Amino acid sequence: MENVLKILILHDYFLYKGGGERLVISLAKNLGADVATAFIAKDAFDPREHGIRTIELYKEKAWSRVPGFRYLQVQSSFLFKTGFVKNYDVVIYSGDCLTAALRTGVLSSRARLAPTRDLCPSVSEPEILRSAQNDSKKSERRPVNIAYMHTPPRHLYDLYDERLRSYPWWKKIIFVPFVLFNRWRFLALARMMDRIVTNSKNTQARIKKYLGLDSIVVYPPCDTLPFKNLRHSERGLAADEESLSVSSTSETEIPPAVGMTSVGDYFFSWARLYDVKRVHLIAEAFAKMPDKKVVIASQGPEFERIKKIVEGHSNITLLGWIDDQQLLEYLGKSLATIYIPMAEDFGMTAVESMQAGKPVIGVAEGGLLEIIEDNKNGLMLKPDFTVDDLRLKILEMTPERVRVMEAACYETAKKFSEAAFVEGMREVIEKYQIPNTKYQSC
């Protein structure tokens, strides 16, 4: 007899079209889970469009974006508006939404599960199963709390010193006590989790270093873009001889063949425009190479800064948000991609690039070390690289070299499949459940 599991995925907020949002949608669809989130922004991925039952705790207004106020509104929403979490068997936390764990009864009931400090059951599995079977009344037990921790908040930990240096004195006075309080809050909530899962060995080490907690790695799904590689068909071989010429105007013509991959004549970047993603360095490099083309597609606080850099450079196309269809088109027709974030947690963007057979110019730090092999499926910059170093790597990435690397890119992408991700998460859930469970939403 199958046991129906009611699963809820909590995600802090859907603000972007990013890897974390893709992960939540993928997991919800495959587990039949519901999703709850603080809010869903206008231009973000929306799980409701995928037929996922979604609870939006509040609608974001203009005044909700006041610095600091969003944080308070998000955290108070997860504290006061999530009483419904007790109706689920499993709650999976994505992003900074661990506050909702306080509503699951975790403080009053530790039955069935071992403390998170050990992150390994302190009793045998048969004892856990007997406990679950005997604890049949919903009111007598609590949900299993599983955190999929993309990273400990970076402004609280590894990027704290850099962020502090960038602030004027009056912001420092606010920022320091804010960080001290939130380090205490985040650690206390993380210890309430029954299991911590993370996206890479890099982040696993970060969790151990800053929180002193163990975790297990389940790589995120990176094959969710529906590419159809036609380079192995007759049509694809013909397409190999074509390349796409991209202008710097907003009226850039989109390649017509969705999902076709070929070797074009431009580089592509679609990392979010945040300082830690270092997209401005990409713009600066191409501003010095008028004979090389790049398309930069995304949005974020750095948009206006990058816009000023690219002014007057017809070889650089700067777009805002693009949808999945446009992403397929631009990525599929590019020469290669550039992804140079600062100590990235994992690097889903790099794997998505390789899914399309596109090698990546990356940086040898963080999670990218688990994805990019220098001179095999991409080219690596040293962590303290300069714009001139980046320019040299761009010049090295020729069409001939891209074709040689293509097969290795596909092989790398296979390691980070959606099927492997879902199976890994199911194994984590079933550690604390009776076997032969069925996954179904509430």
Of the chain, the end-to-end C-alpha distance in Å amounts to: 19
**Residues spanned by the domain of 366:** 234-414
User: Which of 141, 145, 147 minimizes the C-alpha distance to 109?
Assistant: 141
pLDDT band at residue 54, thresholds of 50, 70 and 90? very high
For residue 274, what are its two tokens? 């945040």
* Same domain for 139 and 40: yes
| Residue at 245: amino acid letter | S
229 located within any domain: no
* Same domain for 240 and 94: no
CB atoms within 10 A of CB 70: 17
* Same domain for 168 and 35: yes
Q: pLDDT tens, 135-162? A: 444 445 789 999 999 999 999 999 999 9
Under 8 Å between Cβ of 393 and 339: no
Under 8 Å between Cβ of 336 and 359: yes
Q: pLDDT tens, 99-138? A: 999 999 876 544 344 333 333 333 333 443 344 344 444 4
226 located within any domain: no
Kindly report the backbone phi and psi dihedral angles of residue 319, in degrees, each rounded to the nearest multiple of 5, phi listed first.
-110, 165
pLDDT at 44 over 60: yes
What is the distance between the alpha carbons of residues 392 and 381, in angstroms, rounded to a whole number? 10
What's the pTM?
A: 0.75
Range with the poorest average pLDDT among 66-75, 218-227, 282-291: 218-227
* Same domain for 389 and 260: yes
228 located within any domain: no
227 located within any domain: no
Q: pLDDT tens, 342-355? A: 989 898 899 999 99
pLDDT band at residue 60, thresholds of 50, 70 and 90? confident
What is the distance between the alpha carbons of residues 310 and 297, in angstroms, rounded to a whole number? 13
* Same domain for 168 and 291: no
349: Cβ contacts below 8 Å, ≥ 6 apart: 19, 270, 271, 337, 339
Helices and strands of the chain, counted as H and E runs:
14, 14
pLDDT band at residue 324, thresholds of 50, 70 and 90? confident
CATH number of the domain bearing residue 359: 3.40.50.2000
State the alpha helices, DSSP H only, in 63-151. 69-80, 125-134
For residue 46, what are its two tokens? 């929306």
Q: How many domains does the chain have?
A: 2
Q: pLDDT tens, 223-274? A: 766 665 434 333 333 333 333 333 333 333 333 333 445 678 999 999 999 9
* Same domain for 409 and 435: no
Supply the mean pLDDT for the chain.
84
* Same domain for 436 and 397: no
What is the distance between the alpha carbons of residues 97 and 49, in angstroms, rounded to a whole number? 22
* Same domain for 165 and 40: yes
Helix, strand, coil percentages, rounded to 5, for the chain: 40, 15, 45
For residue 39, what are its two tokens? 């809010």
186 located within any domain: yes
Angle at 366 between CA 346 and CA 210, to 5 degrees: 95
Q: pLDDT tens, 385-438? A: 999 999 999 999 999 999 999 999 999 998 888 899 999 999 999 887 645 556
DSSP of 409-426, one letter per residue? HHHHHHTT-HHHHHHHHH
308 located within any domain: yes
* Same domain for 430 and 387: no
Going by DSSP bridges, is the β-strand pair 360-363/216-217 parallel, antiparallel, or unpaired?
unpaired
SS3 of 397, please? coil
What is the distance between the alpha carbons of residues 134 and 154, in angstroms, rounded to a whole number? 42
310 located within any domain: yes
* Same domain for 372 and 317: yes
User: Which of 371, 184, 362, 394 minimizes the C-alpha distance to 286?
Assistant: 394
263: Cβ contacts below 8 Å, ≥ 6 apart: 240, 243, 335, 399, 402, 403
SS3 of 230, please? coil
* Same domain for 422 and 410: no
What is the distance between the alpha carbons of residues 356 and 334, in angstroms, rounded to a whole number? 10
What is the distance between the alpha carbons of residues 184 and 142, in angstroms, rounded to a whole number? 24
The fraction of the chain above a pLDDT of 70, given in percent, is: 80
Under 8 Å between Cβ of 351 and 222: yes
What is the distance between the alpha carbons of residues 126 and 132, in angstroms, rounded to a whole number? 10
CB atoms within 10 A of CB 407: 12
Which pLDDT score, from 0 to 100, does residue 323 have? 84
Which pLDDT score, from 0 to 100, does residue 142 have? 86
* Same domain for 113 and 44: yes
What is the distance between the alpha carbons of residues 60 and 37, in angstroms, rounded to a whole number? 12
Angle at 310 between CA 304 and CA 314, to 5 degrees: 140
180: Cβ contacts below 8 Å, ≥ 6 apart: none
